[in-house]
Structure 1
Amino acid sequence: MPTIAWLASQPCYPRIYWRGRDTQEEVAAIGSCKDFIFEDAVDDNQLSLAYQQQRALSTNQDIRYYGGVAFDRDTDCWPEYGKAHFVLPRLELRRSGHDYKLVINLNIENEEIEQERQNALQALQQLASPSPLSPPNKIHLLSRSDRPDHRRWTELVNQVTHEKFIKQTPKVVLSRLTQLEINEKVDPWMLLASWQGRNQNSFQFGFQFSPDSAFISCTPERLYRRRQRELFTEALAGTTTRGLNEEEDAMLAQQLLDDSKNSHENQLVRKHIVDALTPLSNYVGADESPKVFKLSHIQHLHRAIRAELKGGVNDFQILQALHPTPAVGGLPKESAINFIRQREGYTRGWYAGACGYFNKHESEFAVAIRSALIEPGRINLFAGAGIVSGSEADAEWHELENKLATILSILTEV
């Protein structure tokens, strides 16, 4: 029985799913042993302090806090998700290859050990036997709306590519919210499992804090992975489609490598990440030339980056330095995000945020692109495109459609 089916069968919340892009590990977690959420205004020092307090509570390498940080912590964020929300689950089912492990967490900060034991036993007694996921059904689409719409999108791209603006802000990643109004219930875990089947070489994760809302993502982009003081990250920017056959696919990949606009975009991201990590690191190294990273419908330019962190550098300092990356925000970071905040026309919430887990010894965060927010009667889909000198509105709009192609095909196929 798939781990994700076990998760979907459980009666309690939150439900959390995590699968790394290039690891054998898969995690399904339920309930909350410890939960901290920032819904109101939060400054980075406050968040860092809360983070450090949690991180210092135990050196046990099995203890992990799962959660996310919104794209923009200076704007209103989605209810339940907040500007930052991390959970130490009550129970975790972890699979590594063919080996399974059940992790039970106890919160003994207040020394109510017996009560915590009872809480854990109760959670175990409430576990439900897993049922197979329902097969995906074609949704009956009542309506679709895009924000910004095509006319407004064209205006925004023209504003960003205007000679005066782009001289000061050479890149802005504009995004679009596509809302699908439906009249049936969609199982987010069935949807994520289907998505996972199409894009095996992606991070797959989901957060369902209550029955009415679930955020799922099948994203190719790593924010970073840390093991002790060793850090791995990447520049993933520049996009084209996949070919209909091997020959066309190889031709499109070569065109992507040769394209000056996409190469420039990837190089901007690489430089920013190296510059951001340098003060925190003894060493930073990055691929000089990009490679092509292939997904089911699209392919990206990719450069690997590795750093050796200085002693005492913590995950929150890394998050502050890297998030949001120029691949989802722009350059310079502040002016690009200000433009997005004022002009894009909707709240990104956890779309393009940082989602993952941390503990004292290791952590991993992905960038939540290729994501969906499932609500009663509505599916919210997100896609973005990097706007730089030479970008054309219609071509970038078409890129948004390509980025939604996989999830839309799952939703609308019989």
Structure 2
Amino acid sequence: MTGHFFSSQFSELIAKLEQLRLVPICDPIVQLSVEGPALPLISWLSAQTLYPKIYWHGRDRDEDIAAIGSCKSFYFADQVDDNALANIYQQQRNKTNHQDIRYYGGLAFDRSVECWPEFGRAHFILPRIELRRNGNKVRILVNLNFENNDLEDEIQAALNAIATIQKPQPLSPLNKLSLISRSDLPNYSRWKELVEQVTQANFIQSTPKVVLSRHSQIDVDDNIDPWAVLACWQGRNPNSFQFGFQFSPERAFISCSPERLYLRRQQELFTEALAGTTVRGLNPDEDNILAQALLDDCKNSHENQLVRKHIVDALTPLSQYVGADEQPKIFKLNHIQHLHRSIRAQLNPGVSDFELLRALHPTPAVGGLPRHAALNFIRQREGYARGWYAGACGYLNHHESEFSVAIRSALIEPRRINLFAGAGIVAGSNPEEEWQELENKLATVLSILIDF
């Protein structure tokens, strides 16, 4: 450990690890913690050399998390069965009485098709070292997994992880990159064909909404620090979820997503219908005019109402009560604004996170309606595998779990940025206007990265 900001805290953790050799271990999963002063967690994370690296910041609270390493993981490269995943997670929950254990990770948008290397169709991590900041305090956590692991080996693995810790460094400046090439899949002519297929009267009657998306592959003249990009993106969209997963040095997935999939606290669930988009105005008056036009627009209001109805219908069998806003409100981001309805449910006893994930994801805001027909169209026609774009990313915990829908996201590889954006296609959708909506959704991250 090279002169770290948390030297005294890590010395205390090392002492606690040494103590484990002297006492009986009751739980297969053990978590040690100490408190320290706050520091910028993305800067700390960027400086670390141990993978995976994980960052999570919820949309509505003053908490962020940086984590490195892994003492337990669930990774599914091939077909993943939701029931099996639920059983595996439940078994892990039962192996510890510690209420603060969190598994961070995500599910792919479409778990029936091949996904990106390292990310898989589902990948969840119990980190080796985790920093959780609340206000001006940081808790430093070390997790140990004694299930099927030798006690000495596991303690030594934790000590080795601590020894790799680097002191935080200022993030590398984000100099604008030169664009070498850009390719869009689907391209505009194919996009126009797809929109016209979805909006045909016969098709739209049985499948009233399909969310079509585009993969923009952008090759640039230098490598990109994903954590510097995320920090800058975070500054421009502070009222979004901000998260990143980097399982190896080769690729990182980062997102500044406005959309909550759900927040569960015990049996209380909070979710939302976020669909319908317009741009921001150049001044407050113009902004308000655009917002009101969005509220009055039949196509966007219909799209949002479809999403609301689907979520309420999906939650009703799992809940004692479901309530949703009757009228949408405006949710403002840096470059765009959305229609938004809040939805709350009181879950039935025993409903698991994986039942919720199966019921709610993919949402109609990223897939379409009815789900099966819309996903089949996307799978067969869109022309690329979305991977974790529009997937579900977040964390699982005994008492509280939170997931975001991974829109406004980027997969960063050496000298390449893969950007994704989607638009809900319903009756009345115009191909050119929907294509421009994709550009609007990429405007923030492109302005950070590229020298046009």
TM-score, scaled relative to structure 2: 0.90
1:345 corresponds to 2:383: yes
Give the aligned residue type for 2:443: A
How far, CA to CA, are the matches of 1:207 and 1:254 in structure 2? Answer: 37
Matched to 2:118, the amino acid is E
Match among 267, 271, 275 for residue 309 of structure 2 = 271
In the alignment, does 2:360 pair up with 1:328?
no
C-alpha contact 2:241 2:257 (8 A) present in aligned 1: yes
Partner of 1:177: 215
What letter corresponds to residue 180 of structure 1 in structure 2? I
1:355 and 1:33 map into 2 onto residues whose CA distance is: 19
In structure 2, distance between residues paired with 1:111 and 1:376: 35
**Distance (whole Å) between structure 2 residues aligned to residue 66 and residue 19 of structure 1:** 12
Does the alignment pair 1:5 with 2:43? yes
- The whole-number CA distance in structure 2 between the counterparts of 1:254 and 1:128 is 50
Alpha-carbon distance, 1:111 to partner: 5.5
User: Which letter does structure 2 place at the counterpart of 1:202?
Assistant: S
Q: Which runs of 5+ in 1 are unaligned?
A: none
1:114 to 145, 152, 160: 152
Q: Decide which moves more: 120-129 or 20-29.
A: 120-129
Render the CA deviation track for 1:121-147: whole Å, top value 9, x for unaligned: 111121011100011111111000000
Q: Is 2:111 aligned against 1:73?
A: yes
Structure 2 residue identity aligned to 1:113: L
Q: Distance in 2 between matches of 1:232 and 1:260?
A: 26
2:354 to 300, 311, 316: 316
User: CA 1:248 to 1:124, structure 2 compared with 1: closer, same or farther past 3 Å?
Assistant: same
Distance in 1 between residues matched to 2:120 and 2:210, nearest whole Å:
24
Give CA deviations for 1:59-90 in whole Å, capped at 9, x if unaligned.
32221000000000011111100000000000
Superposed CA RMSD: 1.0
Corresponding residue for 1:209? 247
Q: Distance in 1 between matches of 2:97 and 2:343?
A: 28
Distance 2:402 2:239 in 1: 16
- In the aligned structure 2, how far is the partner of 1:58 from the partner of 1:179? 43
Q: Kindly provide the amino acid, as one letter, of the partner of residue 207 in structure 1.
A: F
Q: Which residue of 1 aligns with 2:446?
A: 408
C-alpha contact (below 8 Å) 2:223/2:416 kept by paired residues: no
After TM superposition, list the pairs within 5 Å mapping 1:159-178 onto structure 2: 159-178=197-216
After superposition, residues 348-363 of structure 1 pair within 5 angstroms as 348-363=386-401
Matches within 5 A, 1:381-396: 381-396=419-434
The residue that corresponds to 1:305 in the other structure is 343
1:288-303 equivalent positions in 2, closer than 5 A: 288-303=326-341
TM-score (norm 1): 0.99
Moved more, 322-331 or 132-141: 132-141
Provide the rounded CA distance (Å) in 2 between the counterparts of 1:47 and 1:376: 32
Secondary structure at 2:271's aligned position in 1? strand
Q: Deviations over 1:16-50 (max 9, x none)?
A: 00000011110000000101100011222222222
User: Aligned partner of 1:159: which letter?
Assistant: Q
- Offset at 1:274? 0.4
Check the 8 A contact 2:100/2:398 in 1, yes or no: no
| 1:223 equivalent in structure 2 | 261
The separation in 2 between residues aligned to 1:51 and 1:333, in whole angstroms, is 26
Cα contact 2:210–2:367 (8 A) shared by 1 = yes
Bigger-Rg structure (1/2): 2
CA contact (8 A) 1:370 1:383 kept: yes
The one-letter amino acid of 1:170's match is P
The alpha-carbon deviation at position 394 of structure 1 amounts to 0.1
Matches for 1:28-107 after TM superposition, within 5 Å = 28-107=66-145
| 3-state SS in 2 of match to 1:265 | helix
Question: What are the ranges of 5 or more consecutive residues in structure 2 without an aligned counterpart?
Answer: 1-38
- Whether the aligned pair in 2 keeps the contact of 1:373 and 1:380 (CA below 8 Å) is yes
Q: Which amino acid aligns with 1:411?
A: L
Deviations 1:342-401 (A, max 9, x none): 000001000000000001111000000000000112110000000000000000000000
Q: Confirm whether residue 252 of structure 1 aligns to residue 290 of structure 2.
A: yes
Task: Tell me how far apart the structure 1 counterparts of residues 49 and 349 of structure 2 sit (CA, whole Å).
Answer: 43
Mapped contact 2:199–2:429 kept (Cα < 8 A) = yes
| Distance (whole Å) between structure 2 residues aligned to residue 82 and residue 353 of structure 1 | 11
CA distance in 2, matches of 1:384, 1:326: 12
1: CA distance between counterparts of 2:446 and 2:398?
A: 39
Contact 1:141 1:182 in 2 (8 A): yes
Matched, 1:23 2:64: no
User: Is the contact made by 2:353 and 2:401 (CA closer than 8 Å) also made in structure 1?
Assistant: yes
State how far apart, in whole Å, the 1-side matches of 2:415 and 2:294 are: 39
Secondary structure in structure 2 of the residue aligned to 1:140: strand
Q: How many residues align?
A: 414
Give % identity: 69
